């Protein structure tokens, strides 16, 4: 369900939602709040796009709030407070005395910035001690975790990260990661070394309780470059082990049956690592085989040995290999400088009157991945039809798809679908990847509520059912990093957390390469799928995942490759 418009408390606690979601009445109420602050006893200046929660206690001598800065619910703000642009004083935070924040400072909930102090003259009772103020100065691009206390006289340099629960009593130079009580330097954020073992700090090492690996370090760049070089050198061996000379087809891994997807994965891997078609067949034969799979009547592609697939009520089948073949065969042909021989007629004939009810019937409540996968397949078929110069679908159907998606997204989470007791956010997050890959990303359109998507996805990464060591698989990691990557095109919201997560996953992923065999997909939650054995599907997916992780961290150039197929970063059609 969408958030009720009357719930003003949403913006008080999540002020970053205000700019996109507030009603006219709520904007008018915020304007009245601004006027009361400007007319109050203190001197107040409010930049463009600021938000001050109605439940915040703001009684300053001087307040200068920079553009797009927020004071959230139940914050207590007094004294001489100055912030740069894009600062957030989160719920229940105390900012008192003389405090100056640079640009892009995030102050976690329940933290205290105390830019004043009391004397300790033993001849005076405590309540009569004089108040002094040396002030607190915080630089640009600083992340202060929850329940942090910063004491008077402290200067925190640019780009620092202060761990949750820290008590900062002394100055911290730029790029410092600090934690503990009293706060101690853990390391320079640009330093590739982890915190030294055995050096207790008495607190968490990062605002969320985990230590982000510094991004873009020379050691990581070198490791990526070495990995990519080894993968290129072994690419032919990876493909050879999955080639079945008896059938002259590709299987995902030795001992498995040949599949259409395995052939497409082989084409993607060869293009990514070698820049050419797989050497087991001439390029022209790859094209002829893949084009020859398509059913001329429907435009759909069956599995080997299966009859032509039947269209679903709105074009593509609801599930199964033929639905995914729309993606993988189409992009394999594209990488081979070819295309489908026929439009996907099953989708080209779909009307809006057929599409909209079918979208409503998809299992969003408990199987959001399957619903998102169907949208991915349908939208990709429409894309291939456009590429062939045909109508994507019946007039108005493509517009109806995006209209339905925009009006049914949950603006609290940015997702389509609901979490389940069994799997948490696994279904909606994984469904989000498939849905947006084929629709918004493929057509070059912005996604709705990107900040809420990032919040939901980062929260999902903390679920040990899916991300505890040994439980990660290619699907779950891809379905997190692609939304983070996609939304980062539109917002810098929680970008440091996203980079930290990506850096940690990138380091782990590089360790899973099997020499001469590639990557294993990883354990599927239900025990099915390719699992822990190296194969083409795992290799194709992890190579793309590694690029996305590296791009979020800012080191993708070290790989020397860039996905051009299913996981391409650029839109397949201009928006």
Long-range CB contacts for residues 566-572, cutoff 8 Å, separation at least 24: 566/268, 566/327, 566/328, 566/331, 566/437, 567/437, 567/478, 567/482, 567/541, 569/485, 571/441, 571/442, 571/443, 571/444, 572/383, 572/387, 572/442, 572/443
- Backbone phi, psi, residue 184, to 5°: -125, 150
Report angle CA 156, 161, 165 to the nearest 5 degrees.
95
For 234-286, the pLDDT digits (tens) are: 999 999 999 999 999 999 999 999 999 999 999 999 999 999 999 999 999 99
Please count the CA atoms within 13 angstroms of the CA of 564 that sit on its side-chain side: 18
Q: For residue 435, which of 412, 460, 459, 410 has the smallest C-alpha distance?
A: 410
What band does 126 get if pLDDT is binned at 50, 70 and 90?
confident
Q: Is 2 exposed, middle or buried (0-12, 13-18, 19+ CB in 10 A)?
A: exposed
The Cα 276–Cα 269 span in angstroms is: 9
Is 2.160.10.10 the CATH classification of the domain at 9-188? yes
The Cα 187–Cα 185 span in angstroms is: 6
- Backbone phi, psi, residue 231, to 5°: -65, -40
**Residue 464 has which token pair?**
């040990």
Is the pLDDT at 208 greater than 50? The verdict is no
Please count the CA atoms within 13 angstroms of the CA of 378 that sit on its side-chain side: 36
pLDDT of residue 8: 62
Q: Indicate the range of 213-227, 450-464, 505-519 predicted with least confidence.
A: 213-227
pLDDT of residue 544: 98
Contact 59, 78 (CB under 8 A): yes
How much is the pTM? 0.64
Percentage of the chain beyond pLDDT 70 is: 92
The Cα 279–Cα 270 span in angstroms is: 9
The Cα 455–Cα 427 span in angstroms is: 16
Is the pLDDT at 202 greater than 80? The verdict is no
What band does 179 get if pLDDT is binned at 50, 70 and 90?
confident
The Cα 12–Cα 57 span in angstroms is: 12
Cα torsion 275, 281, 287, 289: sign: negative
For 305-355, the pLDDT digits (tens) are: 999 999 999 999 987 899 999 999 999 999 999 999 999 999 999 999 999
SS3 for 230-293, per residue?
A: HHHHHHHHHHHCCEECCCCEEECCCCCCECHHHHHHHHHHHHHHHCCCCCCCCHHHHHHHHHHC
User: Terminus-to-terminus CA distance in the chain, angstroms?
Assistant: 29
pLDDT of residue 9: 79
User: What does the pLDDT average to over 475-487?
Assistant: 96
Total length of the chain: 575
pLDDT of residue 12: 87
Q: For residue 258, which of 280, 236, 235 has the smallest C-alpha distance?
A: 280
The Cα 477–Cα 473 span in angstroms is: 6
Check 118, 358, 512, 514 and give the catalytic one: 118
What band does 493 get if pLDDT is binned at 50, 70 and 90?
very high
Contacts of 412 (CB under 8 A, 6+ apart): 2, 3, 452
Domain extents for the chain? Answer: 9-188, 218-559
Segment holding 49, helix H or strand E = none
Please count the CA atoms within 13 angstroms of the CA of 94 that sit on its side-chain side: 13
Is the pLDDT at 204 greater than 50? The verdict is no
218-559 — its CATH code?
1.50.10
Segment holding 531, helix H or strand E = none
Give bridge partners of residue 138 from the DSSP assignment: 101, 156
For 15-36, the pLDDT digits (tens) are: 888 888 888 889 999 999 999 9
Residue 567 is among the residues annotated as catalytic for this protein: no
Segment holding 186, helix H or strand E = strand 184-188
The Cα 204–Cα 210 span in angstroms is: 7
**Distance set, CA 318 to CA 310, 374, 396, 473, 483 (Å):** 10, 6, 21, 24, 23
pLDDT of residue 353: 97
What band does 483 get if pLDDT is binned at 50, 70 and 90?
very high
The Cα 235–Cα 518 span in angstroms is: 8
Looking at per-residue pLDDT, the higher value among 117 and 574 belongs to 117
Is the pLDDT at 197 greater than 50? The verdict is no
**Residue 318 has which token pair?**
């609801």
To the nearest whole number, what is the mean pLDDT of the chain? 90
pLDDT of residue 530: 53
């Amino acid at each position: 369900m969408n958030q009720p418009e009357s719930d003003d408390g949403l913006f008080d606690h999540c002020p970053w939602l205000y700019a996109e979601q507030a009603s006219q009445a709520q904007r008018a109420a915020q304007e009245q709040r601004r006027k009361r602050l400007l007319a109050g006893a203190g001197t107040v200046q409010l930049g463009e796009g600021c938000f001050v929660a109605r439940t915040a206690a703001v009684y300053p001598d001087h307040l200068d709030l920079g553009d797009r800065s927020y004071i959230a619910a139940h914050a207590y703000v007094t004294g001489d407070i100055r912030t740069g642009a894009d600062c957030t004083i989160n719920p229940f935070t105390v900012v008192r005395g003389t405090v100056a924040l640079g640009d892009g400072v995030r102050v976690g909930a329940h933290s205290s910035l105390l830019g004043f102090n009391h004397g300790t003259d033993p001849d005076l009772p405590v309540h009569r001690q004089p108040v002094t103020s040396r002030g607190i100065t915080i630089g640009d691009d600083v992340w202060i975790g929850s329940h942090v206390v910063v004491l008077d006289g402290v200067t925190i340099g640019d780009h620092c990260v202060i761990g949750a629960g820290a008590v900062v009593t002394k100055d911290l130079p730029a790029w410092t990661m600090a934690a503990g009580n009293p706060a101690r330097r853990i390391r320079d954020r640009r330093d590739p070394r982890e915190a030294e073992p055995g050096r207790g700090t008495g607190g968490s090492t990062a605002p969320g309780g985990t230590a982000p690996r510094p991004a873009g370090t020379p050691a990581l760049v070198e490791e990526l470059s070495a990995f990519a070089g080894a993968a290129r050198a072994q690419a032919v061996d990876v493909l050879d082990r999955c080639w079945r000379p008896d059938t002259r087809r590709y299987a995902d891994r030795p001992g498995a049956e040949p599949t259409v997807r395995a052939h497409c994965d082989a084409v993607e891997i060869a293009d990514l690592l070698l820049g050419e078609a797989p050497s087991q067949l001439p390029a022209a034969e790859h094209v002829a085989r893949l084009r020859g799979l398509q059913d001329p009547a429907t435009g759909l592609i069956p599995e080997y040995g299966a009859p032509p697939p039947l269209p679903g009520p709105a074009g593509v089948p609801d599930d199964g290999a033929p639905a995914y073949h729309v993606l993988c065969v189409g992009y394999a042909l594209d990488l081979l400088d070819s295309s489908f021989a026929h439009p996907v007629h099953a989708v080209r004939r779909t009307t809006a009157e057929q599409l909209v009810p079918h979208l409503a019937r998809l299992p969003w409540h408990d199987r959001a991945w399957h619903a998102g996968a169907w949208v991915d397949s349908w939208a990709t078929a429409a894309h291939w039809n456009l590429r062939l110069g045909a109508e994507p679908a019946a007039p108005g159907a493509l517009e109806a798809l995006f209209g339905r998606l925009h009006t049914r997204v949950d603006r609290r989470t940015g997702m389509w679908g609901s979490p389940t007791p069994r799997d948490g956010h696994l279904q909606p997050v994984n469904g989000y990847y498939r849905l947006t890959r084929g629709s918004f990303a493929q057509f070059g359109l912005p996604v709705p509520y990107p900040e809420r998507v990032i919040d939901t996805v980062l929260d999902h990464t903390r679920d040990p059912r899916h991300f505890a060591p040994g439980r990660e698989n290619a699907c779950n990691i891809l379905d997190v990093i692609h939304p983070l990557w996609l939304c980062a095109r539109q917002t810098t919201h929680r970008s440091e957390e996203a980079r930290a997560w990506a850096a940690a996953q990138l380091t782990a992923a590089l360790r899973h390469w099997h020499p001469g065999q590639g990557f294993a997909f990883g354990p599927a939650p239900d025990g099915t799928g390719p699992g822990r054995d190296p194969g083409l599907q795992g290799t194709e997916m992890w190579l793309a995942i590694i690029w996305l992780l590296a791009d979020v961290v800012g080191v993708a150039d070290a790989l020397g490759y860039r996905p051009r197929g299913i996981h391409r970063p650029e839109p397949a059609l201009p928006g």
